[in-house]
Amino acid sequence: MKTGAGKFRALIPFFLALGGPAFAAADAAKPNIVVILADDFGWGSSTPYGARGLNTPNLDRLAREGRRFTHAYAPSSVCSPSRYGLMTGRYYWRTAIKDGEVLTPTAPLHIEPGRVTLASLCQSQGYRTGAFGKWHLGFQAGATEVDWNQPLQPGPRAVGFDYFYGLGGNPGNGPHAFIENENVVGRIPGEKVVVASTGAKGTTTGLREQRVLDRIMETLTAKATGWIEANHATPFLLYFAPNAVHGPIAPHPKFTGSAYGSYGDFIHELDGSVGQILATLDRLKLAENTLVIFTSDNGGIVDAGNGNTGKAMEAGLAVNGPLRGGKHTEYEGGFREPFIVRWPGQVPANTVSDQVIALPDVLATVAAVLKAPLPKGAATDSFNVLRAFTEPTPGPPVRDHVIMQAADGTYALRLGDWRLIERIGAPKFEHRPTTKTAKKVHTGPTHDELFNLKDDPSVMKDLSATHAEQVAKMKRLLSAARDRGFTRPDTGR
């Protein structure tokens, strides 16, 4: 006579034969999660989004094997606010910094102690969590200047990551070395680390050697793929935030010959890094149970005189496609991002979605994937958009509006097909020492602007004069959202 356990073991083949999908669903309940956040990578800078003359086979593969979104938004047109929104599911302007400004390279950690993050949520569900690349959300606490000679804590590991390897800010910022967990890599014992100058040729003393600009991507990619190799026995979250294609433009020498010069070469290197991550998943037989998200923190720079993109634009690259504006600005090109999702068996392959989604939605969506309830008051502006990832045919909107903020503090609101830029009666801001000096980046209208994205996707025709009621409605919604403290309806439950 078999015991209860023996009976169960004897029935396993029977359950597997009849209930294979149920067992697969149980495994899929804890997929690995890979979030790739490119830097300054414009909506039109890859072949899945219409670029010509570029070679992005790995982004092409993601789009072919997954779903490409055409209306995905960053909450800001510069990096720190967008990175904060992705990590916390909360708008940056709900913090002490209201003016949309990027954190200085020496700012303290800006994610508040105890706040739920994408990493801490996954960590609470038994995931290994690793972050690689550009952080730009600050280190240490209680001061306006980071001391690079002291442990850099709190930092990424205080907000849910088991391991961090990357840059404090942009490649031109100091210290000109990598950071591993809480320490500057390569310090000379007994010598102080001092940032002597910044920029493409910036220097930092107290280091055995500085990181090499055109080897940063190579190093970050190797560290990220090596971490997957070492941690794939359990479910994991990989947050990969490459410095490409932010300036200084410094592709590895093996990436050369693009029709768009070094900027195009840098795009090719970014695509190559994506390919190495996908190849690692393939080699370890993890691809079938891994949710991959590729996106960017804000739009590309479109200043024709800019050394980063100017020559590429002259050669014909539409960095942000047909969208007006770019990084820093309040127009579509500053916020609308490439956003590609692949999750075999869950996300329909080779599909395109026009659903409106935003970077802060990643947190609530991952919570839904993991069936992990969000604590009351967490991820206040993060919507669960999982249905937009998985629906076989277009369904109702997964979110009704998105709030955006430009580098100078200007607010914009998308509501359905309407897009408002608020200029009259907008909140006034004061500069804070933890952010860069505020710069006005436009000399445009001084009145509220209204556009219809369905009829005018490039937002060139201002309709505010003939649609005053729509302007008033959207200004009321925007004001209420700022006052209320949340936008996701179930936040307080």
CB 426 within 8 A of CB 98: no
Going by C-alpha positions, the residue among 113, 72, 58, 112 that lies closest to residue 362 is 72
Name the DSSP letter for residue 435: B
Bridge pairing between strands 236-241 and 32-38 = parallel
Calpha distance 237→281 (Å, rounded) = 13
At 227, which amino acid appears?
W
Of the candidates 117, 95, 181, 38, the one whose C-alpha atom is nearest the C-alpha of residue 435 is 95
What is the identity of the amino acid at 104? T
CA distance 339 to 67: 8
Q: What are phi and psi of 310, to 5 degrees?
A: -55, -50
| Residue appearing with tokens 């695509």 | 271
Strands (E), 222-327: 236-241, 290-296
Q: Please give the span between the terminal C-alpha atoms of the chain, in angstroms, as a whole number.
A: 51
- CA-to-CA separations, 111 to 136, 160, 221, in angstroms, rounded: 11, 11, 25
Radius of gyration of the chain (CA): 23
Q: What are phi and psi of 489, to 5 degrees?
A: -60, -35
Structure tokens at 124: 């609470």
Are the C-beta atoms of residues 492 and 377 closer than 8 Å to each other? yes
- Pairing relation of β-strands 194-197 and 203-205? antiparallel
Q: Could you check whether the bond before residue 245 is cis, i.e. omega within 30 degrees of 0?
A: yes
Nearest to 263 by CA among 333, 306, 312: 312
Rounded to whole angstroms, how far apart are CA atoms 444 and 117? 37
Active site members: 79, 136
Q: Which helix (H) or strand (E) is 32 found in, with range? A: strand 32-38
Which segments of 122-232 are extended strands (E)? 128-134, 163-167, 179-180, 183-184, 194-197, 203-205
DSSP single-letter state for residue 156: G
Q: Find the DSSP H helices in 185-237.
A: 216-231
Beta bridge partners of 413: 403, 420
Q: Taking a C-beta distance cutoff of 8 angstroms, is the pair 53, 256 a contact?
A: no
Cα torsion 222, 228, 231, 236: sign: positive
